Amino acid sequence: MGTWSHDAFADARLTARSSRVGGVSHVLLWSVAAFFAIALYWASQAEVVEATSGMGKVIPSGQVKRVQSLDPGILQERKVNQGDVVTRDDVLLKLDQTQFLSNFRENTSRMQALEGRVARLLAEATGQESFTPPSDLIERNPGIVANETALFKRRQHTLKNNLSIRQQQVTQRQAELEELKESRTQLGRQLKLTQRELKITRPMVKQGVMSEVELLRLDREHSKITGDLAQLRHAVPRAASALEEARSKVDEAQLGFRSQAQEDLNEARNELSRLQEAMTGLKDRVVRTTIRAPVDGTVIRVHVNTVGQVIQSGVTLVEIMPQEDSLMVEARIDPKDIAFLHPGQRAMVKLTAYDFSIYGGLEGELTHISADAITDENGQTAYLVQVRTHEKFIQKGDKKLPIIPGMVASVDVITGKKTILDYLLKPILKARDNALRER
């Protein structure tokens, strides 16, 4: 009874232990199966990006701007060096502006003098008795205003003296005419009296009452008065003509003064107009002595270096690479991968100058694929592709890292997506296809 109990107990313990081992094995088996099932499902669902890679470099995305000088000159100061980043209207070079500035100032002085002269001549031509110069000219050049004012007064004084002399001649001719008219009137009266005396005397001489000598005297007096009166009758019109001539000379002097002033005014205005047109060119020349950047960009070459260097017109002085909102990267792609590329595909640009794990890269878009493969000097064949980035710099915190043409970069063009299971099955499927083709 005791022996059976001991054996039975041992068998029971062995059976229990076998049951526990079998349970753990089943759990482990199911766990492994579940793991592989989950892994297989994940591999069939999880996708990874397919990309075609190539090496290249940053190239200019726009045409190089060549800065030139329209006018010849002498270099006075250089403000930029190769590699400097400039913005639009930044000063690049300064030319000696002494000659241009001298011509500009001389022309300005001549214009101001003409402005004063025009104002004075306008007052003279319109018969004004006072001269009011332009208010802005008084502020800009009071000396010219003072000179023109003094000249206006002198010319007015001369005109008044001339008119006064001619007016005196008018007065004199008027007096002479009045005197002749008065003499004519008196002689007319005397003639009438003499005629009456003769009428009375002739009968008395015939009667012997009066002497014939008295009659002869009266005849002589009558003849003299008649002759004098005839002369006066001709002298009065001549005196009247002289008076009108004197009066016309007064008007002529005044009109001549105004006419000459108007003629001089027209000439002054024409000359002022020519100077104003020339002033625009002179001002532009002075402004052009300061050579500025036409665009935002990077200075890639400066062709003048020495202060005092003679600069010819139309010669390139500075070359600037425009800084656009994006960059262009040109890369070489292996011919076996080119079939999967087409414009519009997304790409990632990784610059070797900036560690990708730290600074990241630039997203872009494939914009161009060369029509044919090219072979370099090493005999390697490749297609050239161009990728335009969405940004022109790499952002690291608040700092913008510059990118300039010539920087080396790797380009990953995204060609599609595949699941991990596809990658795992690819060698098997490839081996199967090869096996089916073998004999």
pLDDT of res. 244: 82
**pLDDT band of 128, cuts 50, 70, 90:** confident
pLDDT of res. 419: 67
Provide mean pLDDT across the span 131-151.
Answer: 85
pLDDT of res. 266: 93
Q: In this structure, which amino acid lies at residue 319?
A: E
Given a cut of 70, is residue 23 above it in pLDDT? Answer: no
d(CA 257, CA 218): 57
The lowest-confidence range among 144-153, 229-238, 427-436 is 427-436
Interval 327-374: pLDDT, tens = 889 999 999 888 888 899 999 999 998 988 888 888 999 999 998 888
pLDDT of res. 89: 92
Domains of the chain: 47-61+324-428 (2.40.30.170), 65-88+294-321 (no CATH), 100-287 (1.10.287)
Q: Which of 28-42, 49-63, 99-113, 246-260 has the highest mean pLDDT?
A: 99-113
d(CA 110, CA 108): 5
Write down the pTM of the prediction.
0.51
Given a cut of 60, is residue 16 above it in pLDDT? Answer: no
Given a cut of 50, is residue 139 above it in pLDDT? Answer: yes
Interval 312-325: pLDDT, tens = 988 999 998 887 66
**pLDDT band of 49, cuts 50, 70, 90:** low
State what percent of residues in the chain have pLDDT above 90. 13
Given a cut of 50, is residue 2 above it in pLDDT? Answer: no
Whole-angstrom CA distances from 410 to 50, 236, 377 are 15, 118, 21
CA angle 146, 148, 151 (to 5 degrees): 110
pLDDT of res. 8: 56
pLDDT of res. 257: 81
Given a cut of 60, is residue 232 above it in pLDDT? Answer: yes
